[in-house]
Structures are given as C-alpha cells and as structure tokens.
Amino acid sequence: VPTAGRVEFRDVTFGYPGAERPVLDGVSFVAEPGQTTAIIGSTGAGKTTLLSLVSRQYDPQQGSVAIDGVSVSDLGRHEMASVVGLIPQKPYLFSGTIGSNLRFGRPEATDAELWEALRVAQGADFVREKTHGLDERVSQGGTNVSGGQRQRLCIARALVARPRVYLFDDSFSALDVATDARLREGLGEATAGATVIIVAQRVSTIRSADQILVMDGGAVVGRGTHDELLESNETYREIVES
C-alpha cells in the first residue's frame, strides 16, 4: 500500500480574526501516513480549529502546517481538494443529486465506485431505498435526508475523492456503537496508507488509534497511546472517566 499524507504542525499559533486571544497556542505534532491520529478534548478546546488549518480554511499567524513537506499555503484550492478530505462536524450537502454530491472531489468516479464508498460509509441501504437512487435530488436545507444520512454521504464523498489525508470531525459520536464499529472497520481498509485524523468523544472510537492527542485550551497537553495516556495524563483520565 503506497503511503503519503504526512501532516506536520510546527509551533502553530492561530486566533480568529478580531479575537483577542489565540485559539491555538504553540501546537506541534506529526500525523503519520498509514496511521490514525485521534484528537480528544473538551468543547471549545480547538479541535475543529486545528482541522480547519489542515484544510486551509484559515492560515496560522505563526508557525507552519505542512503536508508531505509542502506548506499547505502553497497548495491551490483545487489541489487541496485532492490532498485533504474533510468530513465536517456539521455535514453539508450541495443542491443537486446524491451522485453529484458524491462525485464532488472526483467527477470522473464511476457509479460502482460511488456504491462502494456508500457501502463502506454505511449509506448504501438508504440510497438504494430512494426512488431515484444516485439520481435522487437533495438540497442544502432539504429534509429528505436525515442528519445521520447526511453524515454518511459526506464520509462517502471523502472516500470517493481518495485524498492523502482524511479529517473526521466528530463523525462517529451520533452513531450507535455497533454502526460506529462497523463503519470504522470498513474505513480502516478504505483509507489504508493515508493519514487519518479523527476528532472523537467516545473512548471506544479512539482507543485503538496509533496516537492520541489530548487538547485543552488550545494546546496539546498530552500525546501517546490510550494505555500510555491513562498512565500519565490527568486530563485524559478525566475525559475517559467522565
């Protein structure tokens, strides 16, 4: 399996425009290809903000964010879409069909590839039940797709694009434990070789991660495996026990 997508943060400081205090303060870490890096931390800790710097919705005021040694600020918008696949905390659809949503990152994808991505994302059944299948129309504010279904479509959309880096922002918390486990098992295969970063709340979602980053107040206050952090990190123990 070819591997690529090494993400490196070097001493990154970032504050939202107009805000007094930085939201991220001196964040450094490496997320390796072929591995899963999980990020855990209380609400407002800066997890979504961190991911938004990888996908370059914002640029840091200090420090650098690089993918495979290239600063993300040197990647164009179009290039970015094929390098980074973000599954946002609030998943969104574009007005169009289910198929056009799934093909967003790779217009030439075949129907078979879309169905395979849907299968992995645990979304094939509900799409099959739609009268028009992949040609079913959806709209941004549409009600014919539930929140959970929307999330699965966003996961499938990212898989179709085959990026080097996958960013899952709290994509699994709303799923029941069995679906969560099944989905992540399939994802393990589908994303093999890529860099996977998962923001999560459930310990069951992150305990098998190769590396866990513990965030608190905009800083990384711990890193290690589940067992290492249980042993050494008070903040992690508090999160796990809550």
Least CB distance to Mg ion at residue 47 (A)? 5
DSSP label at residue 175? S
Q: Smallest distance, Å, CB 14 to ligand DCP?
A: 9
The residue within the footprint of ligand DCP, chosen from 12, 31, 45, 212 (CB under 6 A), is: 45
Which residues contribute to the site for Mg ion (CB under 5 A)?
47-48, 89
- Residue 46 site contact among ligand DCP, Mg ion, none (CB < 5 to 8 Å, cut-off depends on kind): ligand DCP
Among 5, 33, 46, 60, interactor with ligand DCP by CB under 6 A: 46
Least distance (Å) from ligand DCP to the CB of residue 234? 19
Q: Which stretch binds ligand DCP (CB under 6 A): 42-50, 124-132, 140-148, 187-195?
A: 42-50
For 60, the 3-state DSSP assignment is: coil
Tell me, what amino acid is at 216?
D
The angle formed by the CA atoms of residues 9, 15 and 19, to the nearest 5 degrees, is: 175
The least CB distance from residue 35 to ligand DCP, in Å, is 21
Q: Who's near 217: CB < 8 A, 6+ residues apart?
A: 25, 45, 46
Applying CB under 6 A, among 44, 142, 188, 193 the residue interacting with ligand DCP is 44
By C-beta, is 118 or 206 nearer to Mg ion?
Answer: 206
Parallel, antiparallel, or unpaired: how do β-strands 219-224 and 211-216 relate? antiparallel
The yes or no reply on residue 40 touching ligand DCP (CB under 6 A) is: no
**DSSP letter string, 98-162:** HHHHHTTT-TT--HHHHHHHHHHTT-HHHHHHSTTGGG-EE-TT-SSS-HHHHHHHHHHHHHHH-
Q: Which is nearer to ligand DCP, 97 or 235 (CB)?
A: 235
* Per-residue burial over 170-194, b = 16 or more CB atoms within 10 Å of its CB, e = otherwise: bbbeebeeeebeebbebbeebbeeb
Q: Which residues bind ligand DCP (CB under 6 A)?
A: 16, 19, 23, 41, 43-49, 89
